[in-house]
């Protein structure tokens, strides 16, 4: 990848409409890469912008997923410690009415 193609852009709108548009653009890119007719310059610019938006979205999602995985591994560790640790019971302690 060149420095230009690896730059990210702000994440696109994640509405259903935006996802459908990006999926359509992705389909056009796949068709072109499969040997289809090269798009005209305006279409090519639109497709490049859409691919950058998808790239940015996927990178942001990957970072968020890493955070979710870290939280999960912390929870697994905490549960293991809870299972090993002896629970504290208060049944044997005297209780006085106040």
- SS in 3 state form for 4-42? CCCCCCCCCCCCHHHHHHHHHHHHHHHHHHCCCCCCCHH
Tens digits of per-residue pLDDT, 58-74?
Answer: 888 888 888 878 777 77
Integer angstrom CA distances of residue 8 from 3, 19, 65? 10, 18, 18
Integer angstrom CA distances of residue 81 from 76, 84, 85, 87? 9, 5, 6, 11
pLDDT band at 29 (very low <50, low <70, confident <90, very high): very high
pTM: 0.56
Residue whose C-alpha is closest to residue 25's, from 61, 5, 33, 58:
33
- Give the Cα separation of 92 and 39 in Å (integer): 80
What are the domain boundaries of the chain?
A: 16-84
In this predicted model, which residue has the larger pLDDT, 72 or 38? 38
| pLDDT attached to residue 3 | 47
């Amino acid at each position: 990848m060149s420095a230009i193609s690896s730059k990210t852009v702000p994440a696109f709108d994640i509405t259903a409409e935006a996802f459908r548009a990006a999926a359509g653009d992705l389909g056009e890119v796949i068709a072109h890469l499969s040997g289809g007719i090269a798009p005209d310059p305006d279409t090519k610019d639109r497709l490049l912008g859409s691919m950058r938006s998808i790239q940015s979205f996927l990178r942001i999602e990957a970072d968020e997923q890493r955070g979710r995985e870290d939280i999960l591994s912390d929870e697994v560790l905490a549960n293991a410690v809870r299972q090993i640790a002896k629970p504290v019971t208060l049944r044997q302690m005297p209780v006085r009415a106040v």
